[in-house]
Structure 1
Amino acid sequence: MRLLHTSDWHLGQHFMGKTREAEHRAFLAWLVEQVRTHAVDAVLVAGDVFDTGAPPSYARELYNHFIVELRQTGAQLVILGGNHDSVAMLGESRTLLAELGTRVIPGVEADLERQLLVLRRRDGSPGALLCAIPFIRPRDVLQSQAGQSAEDKQQSLQQAIQAHYQRLYQLAEARRAELDAALPIVATGHLTTVGASASESVREIYVGSLEAFPASAFPPAAYIALGHIHRPQQVGGLEHIRYCGSPIPLSFDEARQDKEVLLVDLAEGGLRAVTPLTVPRFQPLQSVAGDLGQLAVAVAEAAEQGSAERPVWLEVRVRGDDYLSDLQQRISGLCEGLPVEVLRIRRERANGSASLSSEAKETLDELSVEEVFARRLQQETLDEEEARRLRDLHRQVLAEVQTGQA
């Protein structure tokens, strides 16, 4: 059986004043063509289909159009909810979409059996069993207990998530015995694993609760298709536990990444092969850095990737300590006549200990609550024990706020 593993589309993303509609439309058309070309039996989308819980109408249109187009290829589609997705919004059309060969698992189900799916080959025969696990919110699997420390809450949540995986895997083993077939078992997930390499567009999803899930806590599935981390990678160097990453760069630090979807070939004995398919770059995106002299060269080189119809979206990082009141005008002068569009200018100062308000590279709207606290803590002279105590208190407060909002 052949699967295609993709995730983190973030349909509807608004990127520094720019829509990603054209990129997403081109990607989804390309994806349908890959399914046809490679005779894919089932497509797994491991979370974050949309960028927000209330996506714009064009993003919903792209989603619905893709489902109709994919049905014509003969492949099944499984949609898993991510931390950016609304459980209610994804769930509202699941019954209708089931008639189009699409299974939607927006959140953890009260009846666990609804998360166990039989994936079929194009001829209709069973090809694999899927433990369809979406993003797990703490309230889905855990009841808050009074008096728990931040570390206790992290440990409890990790154990609860691990138990959820194990129970579903046991159901899959029982179903496999009922079918009397040596079917491989596949699992999904939308979470951060220990050692995963993230990017600036990925925000912590278990704020104050679980920071990362150990790979050893997964069940022994033939393949584990993960979402949430935008950089494609194996987890712990393991061939069968993978993030496919986002299909388009969602931040400037992803601009140099090769974006991928993964073809996963399964046999009765388990995993046969994983083949990355490189996603074409539908919108040039570059980040350049240097002093004004170096930037003149870097901007000109970046412009070679652009055209009048499709200019390069540019981040300019200016290095140096000199204050330039006319920086904006100077950068505009460097770009004049070139097929580039500057979306962000950032100062990078050589001397350390910059304040959050004036010298930090990020603006507040780019930072999570955890990141603001971490940067503020770095400015204090504290021993490790005191710093750890403050971090624990901060996590505890965030956890209480998060529980109250839920």
Structure 2
Amino acid sequence: MHVRGRIHVRQLPSLTKPGVYADGGGLYLRVRPSLTRSWIFICMIKGRRREMGLGSILDVSLAQARDKASVARAAFLEGRDPIAERAASTQPEAAPVTFGEFADALIDTIEGGFRNEKHRKQWRSTLKTHAASLIDKAITDIDTDDVVDVLRPIWLDLPETASRVRGRIERVLDAAKAKGHRQGENPARWRGHLDLLLPRRSKVVKSHHAALPFTGIVDFMNDLRKRPALAARALEFTILTAARSGETLGATWAEIDLEAALWTVPAERMKAGAEHQVPLSGEAVAILRVLRPKKPKPGELVFQRPIGGKLSNMSMAMLLRRMDRTSITVHGFRSTFRDWAGETTQFAREDVEMALAHVIESKSERAYRRGRALDKRRELMTAWANFCFQTGAQQASG
């Protein structure tokens, strides 16, 4: 039921019969069968009848309802949709997207193109470890100072890691701009920006896999052995086997034969893609016997954290920092081993290269690999352990 004509304020108490009462200009009083009464604005937008609630008669007076209707009518005459505008204005403001949220979403999208699982995990771990201060920050608010604060602590000590972190931050922020979450220049860009704020690589002491001189290994190992952390045992084992850190951290008990003192690393975990056998010295076996559970589970890691999962790739590097050995790297101990073998022993170069799991290029060397038993390399690794702990002759002949 529609009642036409302007409503007088004195009429309001008597307008209780269900229906719609017109006040003019698109303003109506609606009375429902439940006798609740409310103001509405009705208009035609793009050929459709639209209704806009203006509030209960208990909360909104006739004069206020007319004012609200007048504002809505003006918007309508200007070609705007007052109903949509009000809906948009009353929507709660969306929480800003954080760097961590966007980075996780980006990695989920692009990780299919990564080389392997290690690369996927490194992307996440480097950002969470070294860019932790950015994780909860709105991605639109990240500026140059934020990026420099992340990079400065590791720029000199961990140059390769710092470069990866910078590159990954830059990629995340570039993607955020492409998605409309940012505007302007990327604060993580290098050329013409961060290269002016951080030391140039030519001015940084080059430490590509910086190695400890073999003459200092005895003092280092004595210090290392005093440290109870699992990372210390992992580093000790890595040094004694001349292994790469990833090979150690991914080692499982299924790869270890304690009786034969042999560690067999499967091809899929080796950089060269070929199975690698590592003869274990008595010192390396002793580390394993202490760590080995009574009944290892299938696939259980040798260097498994008490809460489960393997140690992070940064665990041994951080241990070196705690030992105040920031000038050397974990990978550098392979060079220490090679320098020791080349300068103080008469072991054949082929034996040393095989111990390092390096690809042997020449046909003669490949034939040597096929024909050479483990015995010479076992002698080599035993001599290395003896040298590290000075428990036997410091030099050996091959």
TM-score by length of 1: 0.22
State the structure with more CA Rg. Answer: 2
Q: Which has the higher strand share?
A: 1
Q: Which has the higher helix share?
A: 2
